[in-house]
Amino acid sequence: MASISIRKLIKRYGHGAKALQVIHGVDAEIKDGEFVVIVGPSGCGKSTLLRMVAGLEEVSEGEIAIGPRVVNDVEPAERDIAMVFQNYALYPHMTNFENMAYGLKIAKVPKEEIRQRVDKAAKILELTHLLDRKPRQLSGGQRQRVAMGRAIVRQPQVFLFDEPLSNLDAKLRAQTRLEIQKLHNELGITSLFVTHDQVEAMTLAQRMMVMNAGRMEQFGTPEEVYHRPATTFVASFIGSPPMNLIEGRAEGTRFVVGEQRLALPLAAPRDGTLVLGLRPEHAELRADGAWQLVVEAVEMLGAERLVYGRVGQSLFTVRQDAMLEAPRIGDTVAIGVPAAQLHWFDAETRQRL
Amino acid sequence: MEKRVLFRSAWLPWLLVAPQMVVVLVFFFWPASQAIVQSLQSEDAFGTSTTWVGLDNFVALFEDEAYLQSFKVTALFSVLVAGLGIAVSLVLAVFADRILRGALVYKTFLIIPYAVAPAVAGVLWVFMFSPSIGIVAYGLRGLGYDWNHLLNSGHALTLIVVAAVWKQISYNFLFFLAGLQSIPKALIEAAAIDGAGPVRRFLSIQLPLLSPTTFFLLVINVVYAFFDTFAIVHATTEGGPGRDTSILVYKVWHDGFKALDLGGSAAQSVVLMAIVVVLTVIQFRYVEKKVNY
Amino acid sequence: MVERRPLLTLLSHLVLVLGILIVAFPIYLAFVASTHTRDEIVQVPMPITPGSHMVENYTAALTGTGSTQGSAAPVGRMMWVSLVTALVISLGKIAISLLSAFAIVYFRFPFKKLVFWMIFITLMLPVEVRILPTYKVLSDLNMLNTYAGLTVPLIASATATFLFRQFFLTVPDELVEAARIDGAGPMRFFKDVLVPLSQTSIAALFVIQFIYGWNQYLWPLLATTTEDMYPIVIGIKRMIASGDAATDWNIIMATAILAMLPPALVVVLMQKWFVKGLVDTEK
């Protein structure tokens, strides 16, 4: 078990003038035994970051350290890590047992011990009855478990997961998510988990790294990321449906959006062009309230309801308990705007104020 | 062209390609360059003196009646072999595609000529067509044809064409069959529903969709006729009667090893090289672009 | 089959049977001839049913005791030469091409493009276009009349290398990454993962190359001058003396049948892989 330090990490493809920089200076300290999720949209660089920690991609600038050791030039096999891939990467011609044992065989671990470790991992993952079969005879979820078994038996310092749940169907995904959580509680090994799914991130992470276009926008616990998003990107990426963001000019307790002047329960941190944020679950439909919403669509989700409409010219979503009365399309309803749930961002830098 | 590069080693890749490269350099490039050099020289049979003659050998070649004749024979030969070979195999493949029962048996039998060496094929056919004892020659005489490939050039050409086509049937057949079986059944069924009978379906759907395969086999068969048929000629007619079935690849061997005309033979080799280059370019440019590299 | 047209099905079977007859006839005839005495065959028309001299003829062929004026080389010896040649060529080619393809696909090294093109160009240099100089090289290296001389010049071909290269390109990248993380170096990966996965290609290539090696004619013609190093395909031609009456056709046909057996066996036994590999190679 070890900590991971990422210092001023930069990744470039190509050289000189035509070089393409895809990771722009990431700094992060991951504690020993922590489960950290790297989350972001496709192409944000999260897999590249993970692969640099694994040693499958070269570092252009900056440092990666596992424990006290800087590993920039260390081969993957020597970093004492294990990785679970999106497509499982199981050796098709070997049995599941042989797949899990392969790394140990290369490390010249005695046969008895190999047997012991594989059996133990198989028991934890409920694979004992499948050890003598080949990967192609297993379902997707089972294969992913074999892949995890392969990682566990190596007893590494760090686990790396590269979107391991993306190829599973929804139900299996939820199930495997729980298994991963259980595994971490039992083994407590430092883990880096990459995903594009914010639900996975929120449920699994002890801390999460939100990435966008090669930059780390926020690194914090799920609570911090949800309640105090550092940028408008984080604010809209985390939480479903996404946070309502309205750009306008703040003047004291008024917020001017186009021709509309919205009343604010509390003055904005400062005047000027700002972005206001309010999550759909924090806006309340009331008999009378600060703002007026013209209802354009209503979606019934079961336990709750989504009401889509416009506040002035801006699109706005409200989440409502399904037990309450539903508004009709075309109605104008009032929304309550609780002061404590308002977020403010600088319109230029998109940073939280 | 390559994967995300995954292994790093300064010396290992060299070691891995070394065996192939050594053989390639010693037995391909060096001799080929020698052939080019020799084609520009003239050496007497004792090897005591060589003089540079530039393109003289080539000029002499193309003014040589015998060489031009050889060119014509080879061209005729390859047209016949390719044409007949493709036609016969196509017919067999079409019918093999239709039946369900016994397909494996037919296929097994039809593959066997592939395993027969061209030389052996030549021996078998020359035995059957031997003017004095051959059973087919006997049969032909019964029909009024006085068969003698030792005297009649046309007969000699027929003999080598038949032997060459017989050998190629398997190869062409396998490819046509695979091509036919890769045509989606839905297309044929749609045509049938539209009212097209089997012959119509063959002409308007299967044949056009087979055209990549046909073109591919055309190139392959021409290459085969040019280069892989030495053994057949050597085992049957030995280029005769006279020089009448002396195809290019036979002539280059004969002139080099029997007649000891080194410059001329080298020049012929270079001409053959040029032909191969053209055919290979055609093959890779127009035929194999379907392959994903 | 789309409609039921029994007549057409009947026609199909007829055509195919006819095809098989044409294909099999020469071989059948050879077999028949190999079971008679020379005199029985030489008189026209020769019998078309098998005779009773099979054992006698085949023994004579194998031990070289026929009385033909063409060549009396023992067929047994020639079959052996052919077998060794075919095996060395096919196995050697597979080994060399696996290594070269592995280097080309999985490594980056200077002049790689050059190496690739050099191998590609050999496709355009069949032995027929370089006969004289290659013979000279062989002679200079004292390799005439040796197994090495018969096999080494034919052991490096581009088709095998390209076939493996094409296959390797379809192996998922993640397999290599997992192996790297598992601690496998390149040769370990090659041996434990890549080669086992290539089994089908290797099998198909073996059939094709074995037949190629067995059927070699022009090259052995140049590379050997002594009877005990002739492969059987050359030996059989030499048995045909100039006069038909003097030639032991029955022995020759026995030799022909013997010469056809090993390749036919290989093809029939490995038919499945062979057909798949042949079509996949070229396409």
Six-digit token pair at A164? Answer: 């391991």
Taking CB atoms and an 8 Å limit, are B19 and C99 in contact across chains? yes
Is residue A4 pLDDT above 90, yes or no? yes
Domain, as residue range, for B87 = 64-290
B175: contact with C, CB 8 A cutoff: yes
Instruction: Pick the residue of B1, B4, B7 with the most C CBs within 10 A to test the interface with C by mutation.
Output: B7
Structural domain contains residue B280: yes
pLDDT at position A119 over 90: yes
Which among A56, A83, A93 has the least Cβ separation from residue C197? A93
- Report the alpha-carbon distance of residue A341 to residue C197 in Å, rounded: 58
Per-residue pLDDT of chain C (283 residues; tens, 9 = 90+): 456 677 888 888 888 888 888 888 888 888 888 888 877 777 777 777 887 877 877 877 777 665 554 556 678 888 899 999 999 999 999 999 999 999 999 988 888 888 888 888 887 788 888 888 888 888 888 888 888 888 888 888 788 898 888 889 888 888 999 998 998 889 999 999 999 999 888 988 898 899 989 998 888 888 888 888 888 888 888 877 655 556 778 888 888 888 899 998 888 888 777 777 666 655 4
B12, B123, B198: residue with CB nearest C236: B123
> What is the residue extent of each domain of chain A?
4-231, 241-346
| The predicted structure's pLDDT at residue B291 | 40
Instruction: Give start and end residues of each alpha helix (H) in B99-210.
Output: 103-115, 118-129, 135-142, 153-181, 185-193, 198-201, 207-209
A236-282 per-position pLDDT tens digit:
999 889 999 999 999 888 888 887 888 888 888 888 899 999 999 99
**What DSSP character marks residue B182?**
T
Strands A207-212 and A35-39: parallel
Name beta bridge partners: A294.
A310, A332
Comparing CB atoms, the residue among B30, B121, B230 nearest residue C128 is B230
Residues within 8 A of C (CB atoms), B 54-83 only: none
CATH superfamily of C34-282: MetI-like (1.10.3720.10)
Spans of all domains in chain C? 34-282
Q: Which chains sit next to B, with 3 or more Cβ pairs under 8 A? A: C
Chain C residues with beta carbon closer than 8 angstroms to that of A135? none
A60 pLDDT tier (thresholds 50, 70, 90): very high
**Which of chain B's residues have a Cβ under 8 Å away from the Cβ of C48?**
135
Q: What is the ipTM of this complex?
A: 0.81
User: Of chain C residues 173-232, which have a CB less than 8 A from chain A?
Assistant: 174-175, 177-184, 188, 192-193, 196-197
What's the rounded Cα separation, in Å, for the pair A177 and A168?
11
DSSP code of residue B55: T
Residues B152, B161: Cα–Cα separation, whole Å: 14
Instruction: Give A62-77 pLDDT, tens digit per residue.
Output: 999 999 999 999 888 8
Compute and round to an integer the Cα radius of gyration of chain C: 24
By C-alpha distance, the chain A residue nearest C184 is: A106
What are the residues whose beta carbons fall under 8 Å from the beta carbon of C3, sequence distance 6 or more?
A: B192, B198
CB contact under 8 A, C44 and B133: yes
* Alpha-carbon gap: B77 to the closest alpha carbon of chain C (Å): 17
Nearest CB to C175: which of A75, A89, A150? A89
Pick the residue from chain C with its C-alpha nearest to A53: C181
Residues in C closer than 8 angstroms to B227, CB to CB, are: 126, 128
pLDDT level of residue B292 (50, 70, 90 thresholds): very low
* DSSP summary character for residue A205: -
Q: What is the pLDDT of residue B293?
A: 28
Rounded distance between C-alpha atoms, residue B161 and residue B151, angstroms: 17
| pTM (2 d.p.) | 0.79
Q: CB contacts < 8 Å between B and C, how many?
A: 309
Task: Single out the residue of B171, B166, B180, B157 nearest to residue B241, CA to CA.
Answer: B157
Averaged over B161-170, what is the pLDDT?
90
Residue A286 is predicted with a pLDDT of 83
Give, as one character, the DSSP assignment of residue A68. T
C-beta separation of A130 from A96 below 8 A: yes
Calpha distance A250→A256 (Å, rounded): 6
| 8 A C-beta contact, residue C251 and residue C78 | no
Structural domain tally of chain B? Answer: 1
Q: Given CB atoms, is B140 within the 8 Å cutoff of chain C?
A: no
Tokens encoding C165 = 């290269």
Query: Would you say C53 and C35 are in contact if contact means Cβ atoms under 8 Å apart?
Result: yes
- Confidence (pLDDT) at C68: 52
The CATH code of the domain that includes B132 is 1.10.3720.10
Provide the CA A157 distance to its chain's centre, in angstroms: 22
Residue of C153, C218, C240, C242 whose CA lies nearest to B250: C218
Fold of A241-346: OB fold (Dihydrolipoamide Acetyltransferase, E2P) (2.40.50)
Residue B49 lies in a domain: no
Of A75, A89, A103, the CB nearest to C174: A89
> What is the SS3 assignment for A221?
coil
Interface mutation vs chain B, best among C14, C107, C152, most B CBs within 10 Å: C107
| Chain mean pLDDT for chain B | 83
Give the minimum alpha-carbon distance from B26 to chain C in angstroms, rounded to a whole number.
8
Estimate to the nearest angstrom the gap between the alpha carbon of B39 and the chain centroid: 25
pLDDT by residue (tens digit) across B86-123?
Answer: 999 999 998 888 877 777 788 888 888 888 888 888 88
Inter-chain CB proximity C1 and B126 less than 8 Å: no
Q: Which chains touch A (3 or more CB pairs under 8 A)?
A: C
- Report the pLDDT value the prediction gives residue B3, as an integer from 0 to 100: 61
d(CA B236, CA A212): 76
Instruction: Answer yes or no: is B12 within a domain.
Output: no
Name chain A contacts of C184, Cβ cutoff 8 Å: 77, 102, 106
pLDDT computed for residue A233 by the predictor: 94
Subunits next to C (3 or more Cβ pairs <8 Å) are: A, B
Which string of DSSP letters, residue by residue, matches A101-123?
HHHHHHTT--HHHHHHHHHHHHH
* Amino acid at position A329, single letter: I
Mutate which of C170, C175, C177, C181 to disrupt the A interface (most A C-beta within 10 Å)?
A: C181
Which DSSP string corresponds to chain C?
--S--HHHHHHHHHHHHHHHHHHHHHHHHHHHHTTS-HHHHHSSSPPSS--S-HHHHHHHHHHT----SS----HHHHHHHHHHHHHHHHHHHHHHHHHHHHHHHHB--TTHHHHHHHHHHGGG--GGGSHHHHHHHHHHTT-TTSHHHHHGGGS--HHHHHHHHHHHHTS-HHHHHHHHHTT--HHHHIIIIIHHHTHHHHHHHHHHHHHHHHT--HHHHHH--SGGG--HHHHHHHT--SSTTTS-HHHHHHHHHHHHHHHHHHHHHTHHHHHHHHHHHH-
Chain B residues in contact with C188 by the CB 8 A cut-off are: none
> Between A and C, how many residue pairs show a Cβ–Cβ distance under 8 A?
55
Distance (Å) from the C-alpha of residue C273 to the closest C-alpha of chain A?
A: 18
Asked if residue B226 belongs to a domain, the reply is yes
A17, B76, C112 from B245: Cα distances, Å: 64, 10, 44
State the fold for domain A4-231: Rossmann fold (3.40.50)
Contact at CB, C183 and A89, closer than 8 angstroms: no
Percent of all residues in chain A with a pLDDT value above 90, rounded to a whole number: 59
pLDDT tens by residue, A84-108: 998 888 998 899 999 999 989 988 9
pLDDT > 70? residue A319:
yes
